[in-house]
Structure 1
Amino acid sequence: MAEELEIIVEEYQDELTERVLHWREALVRHERVREELGDVDPAALRVLGPTLPGRKRDESFVATVFDPRENRSVEVRGRLDGDDVEVTTSSFRPNPSDQELGAALEALREDPEFAVLRDRDDVVVYQPMPPLADVEQEDGSVVRRVALGVFDPRSDRRHRFAAVGVSDRVVEWDPEFSHPLDGDCEEHLPVGVNSMPDGGGRDWVRVRVLRGGVELWNLVVVRPRASEPSHFGKGSGVELKHVTYRGRLVLWQAHVPILNVLYDDGVTYRDWQNQETPFIANGVDPVGPGWRVCTSPPATILESGTDAGNFQGVAFWYEDGELRIVSEVQAGWYRYMSDWRLRDDGTIAPRFGFAGTRNPRTCMPHQHHVYWRLDFDIEGTGNDVVEERGLLFPHLPLWWRLVRETKRTRSLFARRWRVLDSVSGRGYAINPGTTDGTADSYGVADLWFLRYRFTELDDGVSVVGGTPADTQCRLDQYLTAESINSTDVAIWYAGHFRHDETHPTPHQGHIVGPELRPINW
Structure 2
Amino acid sequence: MKKLSCMKLAGLAIAGLLASGSAMAAGADCALWGGNLVKWPAANPIWEMCWVRPSQSVAADGSGLELRDIHYKGILVAKRLHAPILFAEYRNSSTCYRDWKDADATFAATPPVRNMLGIPGSFLATTTCDVSQAATTSYGSCPWPGLPGSPFTSGDCMSGGGVSIEDMGDHVVLTSQYSAAWYQYTGRYVFWANGDIQPEFGFGNRDGTNNNLTHWHHNYWRFDLDIDGAGNNAILANGVPQSTEFTGLRSQTGGPGGGPTYWDVITTKGGYGYRIVSGSNDYNPPNQSGRGFHTIDVIGSRFVNNEYADQANNNLGDCTMASGNIANNQSIADTDVVFYYRTSVRDVNGTDWPPGCSGATCEPQNSMVCKQGGPTMTQIGDWPIFRDGFE
TM-score (norm 1): 0.55
Following the alignment from structure 1 to structure 2, what is the Cα–Cα distance between the partners of residues 460 and 519?
33
List per-residue Cα deviations over 1:216-242 (Å, max 9, x = no partner): 10100011110011xx4x111110101
The equivalent residue for 1:346 is 195
Q: 1:508 to 1:240 in 2, by over 3 A?
A: farther
**What is the distance in 2 between the residues matched to 1:486 and 1:508?**
43
Q: What's the CA shift for 1:422?
A: 0.8
Please, which of 243, 257, 268 is the counterpart of residue 403 of structure 1?
Answer: 243
Match of 1:226 among 48, 56, 63: 56
State yes or no: 1:417 paired with 2:263: yes
2:232 to 383, 389, 409: 383
Matches within 5 A, 1:70-85: none
Q: Of 329, 332, 336, which aligns to 1:488?
A: 336
Match of 1:446 among 297, 306, 313: 297
> In the alignment, which residue of structure 2 is the partner of 1:363?
212
Q: Evaluate the alpha carbon distance shift between residue 218 and residue 360 of structure 1 in structure 2; reply closer, same or farther with a 3 A threshold.
A: closer
1:519 to 365, 369, 380: 380
Q: Does 1:14 align with 2:31?
A: yes
2:282 aligned partner: 436
The aligned residue for residue 209 of structure 1 is 40
Separation in structure 1 between the aligned mates of residue 171 and residue 368 of structure 2, nearest angstrom: 20
Residue in 2 that maps onto 1:41: none
Task: Name structure 1 gaps, 5 residues minimum.
Answer: 1-10, 18-203, 390-398
Describe the SS at the equivalent of 1:471: coil
Within a 5 Å distance, the mapping from 1:52-63 to structure 2 comes to: none
Going from structure 1 to structure 2, the CA distance change for 1:461 and 1:361 (only over 3 Å counts) comes to: farther
Whole-angstrom CA distance in 1 between matches of 2:67 and 2:45: 17
The structure 2 residue matched to 1:281, chosen from 109, 121, 126, is 109
**What secondary structure sits across from 1:225 in the alignment?**
helix
Change in 2 beyond 3 A, CA 1:408/1:13 = closer
Counterparts of residues 114-513 of structure 1 (less than 5 Å): 204-210=35-41, 213-229=43-59, 232=60, 234-264=61-91, 265-284=93-112, 290-291=115-116, 293=118, 294-295=120-121, 296-305=123-132, 306=139, 307-309=141-143, 310-311=157-158, 312-389=161-238, 399-411=239-251, 412=258, 415-437=261-283, 438-440=285-287, 441-460=292-311, 462-466=313-317, 470-502=318-350, 503-504=364-365, 510-513=371-374
Indicate if the aligned counterparts of 1:450 and 1:479 stay in contact, CA closer than 8 A.
yes
* Equivalent pair of 1:373/1:490 in contact (CA under 8 Å): yes
Which region of structure 1 is more displaced relative to structure 2, 360-369 or 247-256?
A: 360-369
Counterpart CA distance in 2 for 1:481 and 1:511 is 32
Give the Cα separation in 1 of the matches to 2:231 and 2:78: 13
C-alpha separation in 1, matches of 2:40 and 2:327: 37
- Aligned-partner residue type, residue 403 of structure 1: S
Q: Which amino acid is 1:277 matched to? A: A
Residue 269 of structure 1, CA deviation: 0.4
1:464: how far off?
4.6
Contact 2:38–2:116 under 8 Å retained in 1: no
Please state how far the C-alpha of 1:473 moved relative to its aligned partner. Answer: 1.4
Whole-Å Cα distance in 2 between the matches of residues 475 and 375 of structure 1? 16
SS of 2:51's equivalent in the other structure is strand
Instruction: Report if aligned partners of 1:240, 1:255 keep a CA contact under 8 Å in 2.
Output: yes
| Aligned-partner Cα distance in 2 for 1:329–1:513 | 17
Aligned with 2:281: secondary structure? coil
Partner of 1:165: none
Could you report, residue by residue, the CA deviation over 1:80-132 in whole angstroms, capped at 9, with x for unpaired residues?
A: xxxxxxxxxxxxxxxxxxxxxxxxxxxxxxxxxxxxxxxxxxxxxxxxxxxxx
Higher relative contact order (CA 8 A, sep 6+): 2
| Structure 1 pair 419–16 and aligned structure 2 pair: CA distance change class (3 A) | closer
Instruction: Give the TM-score normalised by structure 2.
Output: 0.73
Of structures 1 and 2, the larger Rg is shown by 1
Deviation at 1:14, TM superposition (A): 2.0
Q: 1:416 to 1:508 in 2, by over 3 A?
A: farther
Q: 1:478 to 1:15 in 2, by over 3 A?
A: closer
Q: Which protein is richer in strand relative to its size?
A: 1
Structure 2 partner of 1:56? none
**Residues 504 and 352 (structure 1), Cα distance of their counterparts in 2 relative to 1, 3 Å cut:** farther
- Measure, in 1, the Cα distance between the counterparts of 2:33 and 2:51: 15
Q: Report if aligned partners of 1:225, 1:235 keep a CA contact under 8 Å in 2.
A: yes
Match of residue 23 from structure 2: none
In 1, distance between residues paired with 2:259 and 2:124?
39
CA distance in 1, matches of 2:368, 2:46: 31
CA contact (8 A) 1:451 1:490 kept: yes
TM superposition shift of 1:433: 0.6
The one-letter amino acid of 1:510's match is K
Indicate the percent of aligned positions where both proteins have the same amino acid. 26
Contact kept in structure 2, 1:418 and 1:430, CA below 8 Å: yes
* CA-CA distance at 1:365 after TM superposition: 0.5
CA displacement at 1:12 relative to structure 2: 7.8
Q: 1:269 to 1:235 in 2, by over 3 A?
A: same
Hey, what's the Cα distance between the residues in 1 that align with 2:366 and 2:72? 35
Report if aligned partners of 1:461, 1:471 keep a CA contact under 8 Å in 2: no
Cα offset, 1:409, TM superposition: 1.0
Residue type of the partner of 2:247? K
